[in-house]
Amino acid sequence: MGLASLSANLLLVSFIAYLVATLFFGGAVKGAKSEASYSNHRWGNVGITITIIGFITHLGYFITRWMASGHAPLSNMFEFTTAFGMMLVGAFILLFFLYRTPSLGLFALPIAVIIIGYASMFPREITPLIPALQSIWLAVHVITTVIGESILAISAVAGLIYLLKHVDMTKPSRQRFWLEAVMFTIVLVLGFVLSSTTFKVAGYEAHFTYIDKNEAPAKITYHYPPLFGMHEYEAQTPGAMEPWAEMPAVINAQKLTTFVWSVVTGTILYLILRLIFRRPIASLLQPFAKKANSQLMDEIGYRSVLIGFPVFTLGALIFAMIWAHEAWSRFWGWDPKEVWALITWLFYAAFLHLRLSKGWEGKKSAWLAVIGFVIIMFNLIAVNLIIAGLHSYA
């Protein structure tokens, strides 16, 4: 077995391990009859053991893929997103041993599973690095950034648990609306996995030529029926669906098509779930958050930002600017990814300011943590896939 095949198998093992561990954490939450048994339930202990096994195999995937490719496996959407899922699980394991709360695993691991499932929809082939990425700063900058983002993501998990426990889902309110909107966003990611898998199984392909942003001819392949065409496109596949509109060169129309198909599929999936259960999805999850310690969740959310924010600052801003100067002879260039990294940094700086100087705790802090994760995911999905830039993953 080659290193590439071994790497793929190790990732599959970790994916299954996280799924199984989620079930055990669910059993720990539902089966606990007291605060002591909740914190040290035998099913919770089994769950964390399986999670550690999954994390070790996930780390094995990362190392063997690095060995197979000869460079840090962080150069495309598949590699970056799987690394994000791995670091998120690693951050959860650390916090679990600090706080012994199985609710955190019950919500953190499904998010990691969704992230890995999302990553698996992108091309997984090992390809050589383009010249711009052939630098030690690829590993230094991206690994530090993804560690920071994963720790910040844990703050959102704790915030979500806090909100599920305290937001009244039986009466219409703005908080109920926005909490359900978070659930809808998660279902949209599942919609991407479902739609991508469907068209992949069907073997759909449509080939086009177009003029890229450098005014050079280029080729592109759609794996979804094309809703939007690249700049000055021409169809090369007989009988292919005609795009609805032509996009300017700054927009990646192929990725925009994928995004719209995912939103449509996710919306349909959400409506089906609502029809089946006849109540908001957030209300279905509330029983699993009821036994969580509110003060503990608030503390985890806050401390995760305290740790994740400086790590993110180091990776996404300081190391990024050093690499930018080495690669492009400038520290800052207002590239879309750079701008959104700055927006993310400013948001979490505001989070800490409001927490420390204005006393924003409890629900306010939880909402900020969840919004921060939405900003991170928007950067990962929309900025990477739709807006063309120097940092856009292929």
Query: Please, which pLDDT band fits residue 366 given cuts at 50, 70 and 90?
Result: very high
Per domain, the residue ranges of the chain are 1-124
Q: How many helices (H) and strands (E) does the chain have?
A: 14, 5
| 34, pLDDT greater than 50 | yes
| 38, pLDDT greater than 80 | no
Instruction: Please report the pLDDT score of residue 245 as a whole number.
Output: 86
Q: Could you report the per-residue pLDDT of 95-140, keeping only the tens digit for each? A: 998 888 888 999 999 999 989 988 887 888 887 777 666 778 778 8
Among 136-140, 175-179, 187-191, 284-288, name the one with the lowest average pLDDT.
136-140
Instruction: Please report the pLDDT score of residue 240 as a whole number.
Output: 78
Q: Could you report the per-residue pLDDT of 62-106, keeping only the tens digit for each? A: 999 988 888 888 888 888 899 999 999 999 999 998 888 888 999
| 250, pLDDT greater than 80 | no
- CA distance linking residue 91 with residue 154, whole number of Å: 7
Query: Mean of the pLDDT values across residues 156-162?
Result: 94
Instruction: Please report the pLDDT score of residue 158 as a whole number.
Output: 94
Instruction: Please report the pLDDT score of residue 345 as a whole number.
Output: 93
Q: What is the pTM of this model?
A: 0.85
- CA distance linking residue 287 with residue 195, whole number of Å: 30
Query: Please, which pLDDT band fits residue 323 given cuts at 50, 70 and 90?
Result: confident
3-state secondary structure of 171: coil
Higher pLDDT, 391 or 253: 253
Instruction: Please report the pLDDT score of residue 269 as a whole number.
Output: 94
CA distances from 244 to 101, 192, 257, 314, 315 (A): 50, 20, 10, 43, 40
The answer to whether 349 touches 372, Cβ cutoff 8 Å, is no
Query: Mean of the pLDDT values across residues 181-206?
Result: 87
Percent of the chain with pLDDT strictly greater than 70:
92
Cβ-Cβ contacts under 8 Å for 88 (sequence gap 6 or more) = 108, 111, 112, 115, 150, 153, 154
Query: Mean of the pLDDT values across residues 220-228?
Result: 88
The answer to whether 266 touches 187, Cβ cutoff 8 Å, is yes
Higher pLDDT, 247 or 394: 247
Query: Mean of the pLDDT values across residues 305-314?
Result: 94
Instruction: Please report the pLDDT score of residue 324 as a whole number.
Output: 77
| Range picked from 143-147, 323-327, 337-341 for highest mean pLDDT | 143-147
DSSP state of 241: P
Give the strand pairing for 234-235 and 206-211.
antiparallel
Instruction: Please report the pLDDT score of residue 368 as a whole number.
Output: 94
Among 14-18, 336-340, 349-353, name the one with the lowest average pLDDT.
336-340
Query: Mean of the pLDDT values across residues 10-35?
Result: 86
- CA distance linking residue 390 with residue 333, whole number of Å: 10
| 394, pLDDT greater than 60 | no
| Range picked from 11-25, 245-259, 277-291, 315-329 for highest mean pLDDT | 11-25
Instruction: Please report the pLDDT score of residue 310 as a whole number.
Output: 95
